[in-house]
Amino acid sequence: MNKQRQNSIQKLLNEKKIGAFFLWRSDELVMSLGYQSLWGVSVCLFPFEGTPILYIPELEPRDRLPENVILKTFPWGLMDCSNPWDILYEMIKEDLTQLGIESLPISYIQHIGQSSPPLMAGEGTPISPDLREKLAYVSKGGYQDITSAFLELYAIKNDVEIERIVLTNQVAAIGIKAFYDNLIPGKSEVEVASAVEAAIQNQVNDNDILYAKAWPQIQSGINLTNGGRFNRSTGKKLQSGELVMIEMGVCVNGYWADITRTGSTGDLHAKYLRIFEVVSEAQEKAVKAIAPGKTTGEIDKIAREYIVNCGYGPFFNHALGHHVGFRYHDPGNPLVPNGNAVLKEGMIYTVEPGIYGEELGVGARIEDNVLVTSDGYRILSDFSRGLKWETK
């Protein structure tokens, strides 16, 4: 857990007069403690002052737990415990009393649209279905909703978090090189995707990278016409002279990158090459305009107007970008037409213009992760974004 993040959370709790905030979703624990749970049933009691308490199941690995927290275990997963959740609730009540905050309101995010998965992501998170209801009664002060204010904390990344997201982008670059290396006519989309996924997962080691996972989706040729609606890999074989796009979420140690590249399998028809060039130029113009004080609508307008002026306006059918870092898609104001949210130092946005359409017979998108700095921007995913891999 880094002190900058602890201070930002506890400052909010003091402002809202909240005794403690509870967190259990994977991205919440990463954001608050820098901790990615394995089982997805760890719960953190984050008090308005002092040291957070992390309750972990007995089966949780002990080699990747956060520092500077109080660790306690509860018997989830043990054969001889019929209801570990009741034990957890009693532990929480006792700790609230010990901290002297049993009469203050508590808070947590009751419902959320999406969240990043824990390490054991093959099934849904096995949190007790009545967790939210029972937590509302652990304090005599009751529950107070500060969800909107808490989610605003996701938007500004601190120095420690930025460097961890930089690492994720460095790993993503390895996967993107594997994408370019496998743009070979005759290979299927899923074969390319599997090569990318393997390249990223193979970065796991005993030092900095405890977890690395990618979700690459490959679309080629005619399949790319749907690239603005959905992304998926199929068994379609790559053909010579096609555009091929990869949309990829990457998670390393709980921190996320969201990357898109469009490559080719050989010489392109002039109209396909033109579409790629327009997307590339639109993205470059938008990225160069990023700076504190600009609005989300201003950035979107730069890319969108360029695409419109080039004659492809109807074929750019989604937002220009979104926050990223603790999730594939972080909460916060996206880069959209007429958006009036103001960019601030420490925000990380994707910038991802695209052009797609059945009438065009093809599609293309380029996406980078861009940090808003004190005087402008920094591209965290600053590696090859052309039709072929190019070493910088």
Q: Which of 238, 283, 284 is nearest to 264 (CA)?
A: 238
Answer with the residue of higher pLDDT: 133 or 56.
Answer: 56
Calculate mean pLDDT across residues 54-82: 93
Residue 66, pLDDT above cutoff 90 = yes
* Structural domains of the chain in order of their starting residue, each with its CATH number: 3-154 (3.40.350.10), 159-379 (3.90.230.10)
Residue 120, pLDDT above cutoff 90 = no
Q: What CA–CA distance (Å, rounded) separates 78 from 29?
A: 23
DSSP-assigned letters across all residues of 109-139: ----S-----S--SS-----TTHHHHHTTSS
* pLDDT tens-digit map of 339-350: 999 999 999 999
Calculate mean pLDDT across residues 34-62: 96
Contact (Cβ atoms closer than 8 angstroms) between residue 340 and residue 298: no
* pLDDT tens-digit map of 287-306: 999 999 999 999 999 999 99
Which pLDDT belongs to residue 327? 96
Degrees, nearest 5: CA angle 272-278-281:
140
Which pLDDT belongs to residue 384? 97
Answer with the residue of higher pLDDT: 122 or 26.
Answer: 26
Q: In which residue are the tokens 């070979």 written?
A: 184
Q: What CA–CA distance (Å, rounded) separates 107 from 109?
A: 7
- What count of other Cβ atoms lies within 10 Å of the Cβ of residue 185? 13
Phi, psi of 321 (to 5 degrees): 180, 180
Share of the chain above pLDDT 70, in %: 100
Q: Name residue 47's beta-bridge partners.
A: 20
Residue 15 pLDDT grade (very low, low, confident, very high; cuts 50, 70, 90): very high
Q: What is the mean pLDDT of the chain?
A: 96
DSSP-assigned letters across all residues of 179-239: HHHT--TT-BHHHHHHHHHHHHHTT--SSS-S-EEEEEEEEEGGGGGGTTT-----SPBP-
Q: Which helix (H) or strand (E) holds 7?
A: helix 3-16
Residue 391 pLDDT grade (very low, low, confident, very high; cuts 50, 70, 90): confident
Contact (Cβ atoms closer than 8 angstroms) between residue 126 and residue 41: yes
Which pLDDT belongs to residue 182? 98
Q: What CA–CA distance (Å, rounded) separates 51 from 10?
A: 10
Q: In which residue are the tokens 């972080």 written?
A: 330
Q: In which residue are the tokens 């959209």 written?
A: 336
* pLDDT tens-digit map of 182-239: 999 999 999 999 999 999 999 999 779 999 999 999 999 999 999 999 999 999 999 9
Does residue 297 sit in helix, strand or coil?
helix
Residue 29, pLDDT above cutoff 80 = yes
Residue 69, pLDDT above cutoff 80 = yes
Which pLDDT belongs to residue 1? 73
Calculate mean pLDDT across residues 279-286: 98
Which pLDDT belongs to residue 121? 77
Which pLDDT belongs to residue 130? 87
Q: What is the pTM of this model?
A: 0.96
Contact (Cβ atoms closer than 8 angstroms) between residue 234 and residue 190: yes
* pLDDT tens-digit map of 142-195: 999 999 999 999 999 999 999 999 999 999 999 999 999 999 999 999 999 999
Q: What CA–CA distance (Å, rounded) separates 137 from 145?
A: 14
Which pLDDT belongs to residue 243? 98
Phi, psi of 384 (to 5 degrees): -45, 130
- What count of other Cβ atoms lies within 10 Å of the Cβ of residue 64? 15
Does residue 11 sit in helix, strand or coil?
helix
Which pLDDT belongs to residue 125? 81
Contact (Cβ atoms closer than 8 angstroms) between residue 157 and residue 207: no
Which pLDDT belongs to residue 146? 97
Degrees, nearest 5: CA angle 317-322-325:
145
DSSP-assigned letters across all residues of 230-258: -----SPBP-TT-EEEEEEEEEETTEEEE
Which pLDDT belongs to residue 240? 97
